[in-house]
Amino acid sequence: MRAFTVERYGGKAGVRVGEVPDPEVGANDVLILVRAASVNPLDRMIRDGEMKTILPYRVPFVLGNDLAGVVVEVGAAVTRFAVGDEVFARPDKDRIGTFAELIAVHQDDVAIKPATLTMEEAASLPLVALTSWQALVERAQVKPGQKVLVHAGSGGLGTIAVQLAKHLGAYVATTTSTANVDLVKGLGADVVVDYKKEAFETVLRDYDVVLDSLGGDTLAKSLDVLKPGGKLISVAGPPDAALARELGANVVIRLVMSALSLRIRRSARRRGVTYSFLFMKASGDQLRELTPLFEAGTIQPVVDTVFPFVSAREALEYLEAGRAKAGKVVVSMA
């Protein structure tokens, strides 16, 4: 089968489109003919070796973290799916590889594709929708009337998180550029801070939750907008020891991760708030919970550009260069 593989860590030169063996199908696996896969910042980080401490993939490996497609084979123990089902999924972190014609995924990580969405739209959702759910529903437990700040509201994660926070009944603020102010208002944001014109930390106060996807100075400044007891949840900041425990890392890695996040955790503690790093988990059950929201249009996918599979390298470079105007970049196998 054709696949987009990482031959060596370290950048654009180490990736290629070529032939690789078809995946093996385990007893609990479904073999999916991939119709579309979306591109995420995580793909660039994995390609460049930035995630090797957490995700030590052995080269060569197939890149890609979410997909939509059609089931073409089921393992002997599969009970949830049949050949011909249209599905979408975020494979488990140990089984990535959606930039390919075929992928075998454990049935627990797969869900039936929302009937109202195209393959490209469905492929844009799993990673960012699961991240939003696990941040806002599981970890923050957002309640109606609470105030939630979602950074980068026009980004792949932000467009979904803004809509989910609004569905949960929150008062939602977001940051974006001038060009996307109307877009994020249309997604449901109550307050939009144009970062080209003003600093969010000077205009926002007393928020219950901040979802950060930018890290750096934005992460540190986000502490200032939280009220006592507030929660700063980041997918871009330094990892913490809790993540190391979740991943089953050894003591040395736990100490390293704890040290990396020490400064931000201390700053949070001084302000009476908490900081945590989120690395989302694959979950077909959570995708099934989200599906009615997709089908009703309560949460709508935002797709910036669709690239053909032969241009997967260009799709990754397009995202990396910041050329995407809003939403997700998708690779189509059609």
pLDDT value of residue 255: 86
pLDDT above 70 covers what percent of the chain?
100
Question: 2-124+302-332 adopts what CATH topology?
Answer: Quinone Oxidoreductase; Chain A, domain 1 (3.90.180)
Q: To which residue do tokens 């590889």 refer?
A: 97
- Which residues make Cβ contacts (< 8 Å) with residue 168, sequence separation at least 6? 136, 137, 142, 143, 144
At 46-83, the pLDDT tens digits run: 999 998 888 889 999 999 999 999 999 999 999 999 99
pLDDT value of residue 275: 97
> Residue 249: pLDDT above 80?
no
DSSP string for 121-165: HHHTSHHHHHHHHIIIIIIS---TT-EEEESSTTSHHHHHHHHHH
Q: Sorting pLDDT into bands at 50, 70 and 90, what band is 181? A: very high
- CA separation for the pair 317, 262 (Å, rounded): 33
* Average per-residue pLDDT for the chain: 96
Torsion sign (Cα): 91, 92, 98, 101: negative
> Residue 241: pLDDT above 90?
no
At 13-56, the pLDDT tens digits run: 899 999 999 999 999 999 999 999 999 999 999 999 998 888 88
pLDDT value of residue 104: 98
pLDDT value of residue 254: 82
pLDDT value of residue 306: 98
Give mean pLDDT, residues 4-15.
93
Domain ranges of the chain: 2-124+302-332, 127-277
CA distances from 225 to 66, 200, 207, 278 (A): 33, 8, 6, 20
Give mean pLDDT, residues 215-228.
97
pLDDT value of residue 243: 82
pLDDT value of residue 214: 96
pLDDT value of residue 161: 98
The token pair at 190 is 């109550």
At 291-327, the pLDDT tens digits run: 999 999 999 999 999 999 999 999 999 999 998 999 9
Class at the top of the CATH hierarchy for domain 127-277: alpha beta
- CA separation for the pair 169, 99 (Å, rounded): 36
pLDDT value of residue 96: 98
pLDDT value of residue 287: 98
At 76-117, the pLDDT tens digits run: 999 999 999 999 999 999 999 999 999 999 999 999 999 999
- Which residues make Cβ contacts (< 8 Å) with residue 155, sequence separation at least 6? 213, 326, 327
pTM, two decimal places: 0.97
